[in-house]
Structure 1
Amino acid sequence: MSDERPEKPLPELRASDADRDRVVERLRDAVAEGRLDMDEFEERLEAAYKSRTYAELEPLTQDLPAPAGGPVARPSSSAVGAAEPWTGRIGGGGSSATAVAVMSGFQRKGRWTVPARFDAVAFWGGGQLDLREADFAQREVVINCVAVMGGIEITVPPGVELDVRGFGFMGAFDQRDNPGPVEPGAPRVVVTGFAFWGGVEIKVKKRKRPLDGPSLRKEL
């Protein structure tokens, strides 16, 4: 006899856009089935789009029958494992929003917060931005790079959504590696700007150590 038990919910886990969409779809079905009136639907719809965690999403469909696919807004064990690296790393105020190197250099690494927009300028100089241990002020951040006879190197961890839009004139925007499949809950990093007689290089590297724990060390 098999022992099947329901998965334990993790209410503190951040909900994704797909989770919110599933709840909204179930609410629409409930209206069509006559289980909710329009006032209730509009109230729950607004709450669904404002929800950030499973604890906020689950009450919205708790009194409705689950769809054939199973409970709404409850992560599977595999999804939980994939989302864990980004839990608690998105949201809050950003650190400094500008870095400038004129015949010099700049560096951002370790535990820092990438703001919604970060401007990096290198003129006859160089800069390094390491996002592997960074937090992110928003789900999508924009890093605008200007490299004139200089270079800027950006390092991101695997699993982020990477969008490189910059261009080079007698210079180059070079994405060396593929970050791989986008992990649930991962941020979107947009790199834009231009390089003139210079270069912007985007690398993908794994962290050597986890973010949490006594053995954390900064590394490049």
Structure 2
Amino acid sequence: MTDDSVPDLRASDADRERVAEILRDALAEGRLDMAEFEERLDATYRARTYGELAPITRDLPASGVTAPVVSLSKEPATGPDGSDWSGRIVGGEGSSTWAVAVMSGFQRKGRWTVPRRFTCFAFWGGGELDLREADFTEREVEINAIAIMGGVDVIVPPGVEVVVRGIGIMGGFDHREEGVPGAPGAPRVIITGFALWGGVGVQRKLTRAQKQRVREERRREELERGTEGRELG
């Protein structure tokens, strides 16, 4: 039985979330602009039946392969927000193995592949290693950070286990993110190195997709409260 054959069947919250996930992917891939995304997202959370949901994603590919339909399966959807690590331990070689900033800066962010060992050096400068959307060559990787009168910031997504083993002299390494258990299948990031009159910071931040999910959840709750208010009135 296809979704088109049951247009009057009531949709569940999980069905609406699966459609929202397709919209988030389309936004990230440039298939939708922000105005189109927000318009379709509002329609998704207002939809009550499969017949109302189906047209929202009819012109969008699911996983870049086929035209999507709303699945009646109860299996949870998986998105690009780090909740599923099975596809992000990729083996092979890293995108790069080192970075240097001498009175300047460096940055690694977006979709890149973290090697088994990455070395970075900052002297009178700074660098940023953003792992939130990165792939990993192995389950355990090491970042060797050397900061002399400079700084290096390492940003990890939720779910990643962090171990800090660096040494600081008149400088320091940030240990605040240690002790947080890793998610099943998530990589382990070991941060080593040396800081002299400088520092190596570690931050745990949501991905753009997760931030968007939080905003969507708030918007959905506001819409549902508004709907309930009109029904009671």
- Superposed, 1:1-220 pairs within 5 Å as 85-92=84-91, 93-177=93-177, 180-209=180-209
Distance in 2 (alpha carbons) for counterparts of 1:205 and 1:102: 27
Distance in 2 (alpha carbons) for counterparts of 1:94 and 1:85: 20
2:86 aligned partner, one-letter code: T
| Residue pair 1:176, 1:204 contacting (<8 A) in 2 also | no
Percent identity over paired residues: 62
| Residue pair 1:160, 1:186 contacting (<8 A) in 2 also | yes
| Residue pair 1:126, 1:150 contacting (<8 A) in 2 also | yes
| 2:201 aligned counterpart, secondary structure | strand
Using a 3 Å threshold, how does the CA distance of structure 1 residues 189 and 205 change in structure 2: closer, same or farther?
A: same
Count of matched residue positions in the alignment of Structure 1 and Structure 2: 133
Distance in 1 (alpha carbons) for counterparts of 2:202 and 2:83: 25
More helix by percentage: 2
Distance in 1 (alpha carbons) for counterparts of 2:193 and 2:83: 32
Distance in 1 (alpha carbons) for counterparts of 2:96 and 2:148: 22
| 1:175 aligned counterpart, secondary structure | coil
TM-score, structure 2 length as denominator? 0.53
| 2:84 aligned counterpart, secondary structure | helix
* Deviation of the 1:84 alpha carbon: 5.1
Distance in 1 (alpha carbons) for counterparts of 2:145 and 2:182: 23
After superposition, give the CA deviation of every residue in 1:3-33 in whole Å (9 maximum; x if it has no partner): xxxxxxxxxxxxxxxxxxxxxxxxxxxxxxx
Uncovered stretches (5+) of structure 2, i.e. residues with no partner: 1-74, 211-233
Report runs of 4+ in structure 1 exceeding 2 Å deviation: 175-181
Distance in 2 (alpha carbons) for counterparts of 1:197 and 1:172: 8
1:197 aligned partner, one-letter code: W
Distance in 2 (alpha carbons) for counterparts of 1:130 and 1:151: 14
Distance in 2 (alpha carbons) for counterparts of 1:121 and 1:153: 12
* Deviation of the 1:133 alpha carbon: 0.3
Using a 3 Å threshold, how does the CA distance of structure 1 residues 84 and 173 change in structure 2: closer, same or farther?
A: closer
| 2:99 aligned counterpart, secondary structure | strand
* Deviation of the 1:206 alpha carbon: 1.1
| Residue pair 1:173, 1:195 contacting (<8 A) in 2 also | yes
Distance in 2 (alpha carbons) for counterparts of 1:179 and 1:94: 27
Distance in 1 (alpha carbons) for counterparts of 2:195 and 2:138: 26
2:84 aligned partner, one-letter code: P
The match for 1:66 is none
TM-score, structure 1 length as denominator? 0.56
